[in-house]
Structure 1
Amino acid sequence: MASPAPTSAPTTAERIRSACARSGGAMLAVEGLDPTTTPVHHLLDDGSFAITVPCDGSLVATVVSAGNAGVQAVLEMTDYAPLPLREPVRSLVWIQGRLRDVPIGEVPALLDLIASTEPNPALLQVNSGSSQGEGDTRLALMRLEIESVVVADATGAESVALSALLGARPDPFCGMESCWLQHMESAHRDVVDRLAARLPASLRRGRVRPLGLDRYGVQLRVEGADGDHDVRLPFAHPVDDVTGLSQAIRVLMGCPFLNGLRARGA
């Protein structure tokens, strides 16, 4: 029996989890109110999002007055490319559900739970106005009970089941991706050029830019006269650490000196 083909790209659920981990801010929309920024948006194991919103807005009063019924809300997260591309948005994620206030007695434990895996400095602003400096904004902690999740990118839109989202994990390199791609663009243009040499001849006439990097491969954006084209160059196998990632990129570049091999005379 033939072996299954190796996975060449992250699942939609994995892409959403990575987008959640990368997104420094998101917007929360409730009908009849202005969109509100959410400095923290953390997916919990129970299938809800812990969200922080400014205390001084009308959203908090609306949600608190709704009580256990909560209010319908949509959380929108935008995944931006690390480089100043012609079209910087890589994907949009919409999470629809019912927003409820977190009872004050449950706030400390929930903050500790979030901080154990995501030590976001904004957590210090939740219900702690007395220790804040001038200009800081007090934040309220809320839960968004998920009803649907949809992601949209250049290939179209797709919905994702909550069970798939909970079973997925962010890409192991998503926290370092921005720095690596920026460094590749500014200091290692030769790497980009060698990767670009693997593209179809029709795409090489455009400007090739690094777009994405994950355990499954590298994405390039070709900014051409006829529009933008995104191309994925998959690794032979998914990688899990920096050593494996470095080797996989060298393979894509066509470097012959791998696995301990040395140039003759070295």
Structure 2
Amino acid sequence: MKDWAELARTVVAGASAIDIGILGHRAPVARHATDGTGALLFSLEEVAPECAHLVRPGQRGPLVDASASDVSSVPHRERVRGRVELTGRAQVMPGPVCEELLDHLGLDEGQPVGRLVPDTITLEWSVECRATRPALVDVAVADYVAAEVDPLAGWQDGWITHLDGTHREDLRRLVEREVQPVATVRPVLADADGLVLREYVGTCRRDIRVDFPGRVGCGCEAQAALKSLLSVTARG
């Protein structure tokens, strides 16, 4: 059983693309962040420059909807792994805002940082989905707030790109007995529990999970876990 709340938190935290609708404006944001509750932090002026001055710290803000997309760094036929839709009220973070956050968002001191605290969360997820359509899940706000972000979020895409470019045959050996001889096998996702490899045979595809020996907590542990799996495979 998937932890949908953790998956939603992970998609939002490490989203490849985010666009936000507020006060009749809709725009993509170049940078974003999340806080410990999963609230989405962004530059208000980037989304709605003509309206940002209307929202004051501490006041009830306008309704906001945001879409966060998780796109695989490995070029698959369908690269979007998942999408999270958030709706809620916009707030302006009261000052002082920490310098690290301002730098990350590309803002100067005094420029407003928007904070979207979601009232509704919907997750669409296509990896390891056996149905013809992606799974569509409504995530409870309390579960979303309590969930953790997967420890490989933000790192795993660089890793699977490296694995795809340099170690594709090694990955294939992990699932050699499960895939067809004519199949192409490429990584699509890595998380704390393992790797997901995508098998292509003609126009058909299938996702196969390769579990790590145990749940990992960082990239170094993930690399060590994969090395262990490959060592076992090499011994037959």
Which range, TM-score by smaller chain? 0.7 to 0.9
Structure 1 residue ranges, 4+ long, deviating more than 4 angstroms after superposition: 241-244
Partners in 1 of 2:29 and 2:92 — Cα distance? 16
Q: SS of the residue aligned with 2:170? A: helix
Structure 2 partner of 1:160 = 139
Distance 2:68 2:141 in 1: 16
| SS of equivalent to 1:149 | strand
Q: Which amino acid aligns with 1:165?
A: Y
Q: Deviations over 1:66-125 (max 9, x none)?
A: x934221111111110112211111001111011334xxx232x335xx3xxx5733341
User: For the Cα contact (< 8 Å) 1:52–1:126, is it kept in 2?
Assistant: no
> 2:190 aligned to 207, 213, 217, which one?
213
1:11 is the counterpart of 2:3: yes
Indicate whether 1:176 and 2:155 are aligned. yes
Q: Does 1:92 align with 2:92?
A: no
Structure 1: give runs of 5+ residues left out of the alignment. Answer: 1-8, 129-138, 259-266
Paired residues for 1:82-161 under 5 Å = 82-102=73-93, 106-108=94-96, 110-111=97-98, 115=100, 121-127=103-109, 140-154=112-126, 155=129, 156-161=135-140
**Residue pair 1:13, 1:168 contacting (<8 A) in 2 also:** yes
What's the counterpart of residue 3 of structure 1? none
CA offset at residue 237 of structure 1?
A: 2.6
Give the C-alpha shift of residue 158 in structure 1.
Answer: 0.8
What displacement does 1:25 show?
4.2
Q: Distance in 2 between matches of 1:19 and 1:198?
A: 31
Letter in 1 for 2:207: D
Which of 1 and 2 has greater Rg? 1
Q: 1:39 to 1:124 in 2, by over 3 A?
A: closer
Partner of 1:60: 52
Contact 2:16 2:69 in 1 (8 A): no
Q: Relative contact order, CA 8 A, sep 6+: which one is greater?
A: 1
Identity %: 21
- Which amino acid is 2:114 matched to? M
Distance 2:220 2:28 in 1: 41
TM-score (norm 2): 0.79
Which digits, 9 at most, give the CA deviation of each residue in 1:160-210, with x for residues without a partner?
Answer: 122222222222222321221111111112222212414343xx5332111
Change (3 A) 1:121 1:224: farther
Distance in 2 of aligned mates of 1:181 and 1:107: 39
Q: Secondary structure at the match of 2:112?
A: strand
**Pair 1:185-2:177 in alignment:** no
Which piece of structure 1 moves more, 88-97 or 171-180?
171-180
Partner residue in 2 for 1:23: 15
How many corresponding residue pairs? 226
Which AA in structure 1 matches 2:41? Answer: A
Alpha carbons of structure 1 residues 227 and 60: separation in structure 2 relative to 1, 3 Å: farther
- Structure 1: distance between partners of 2:16 and 2:167: 27
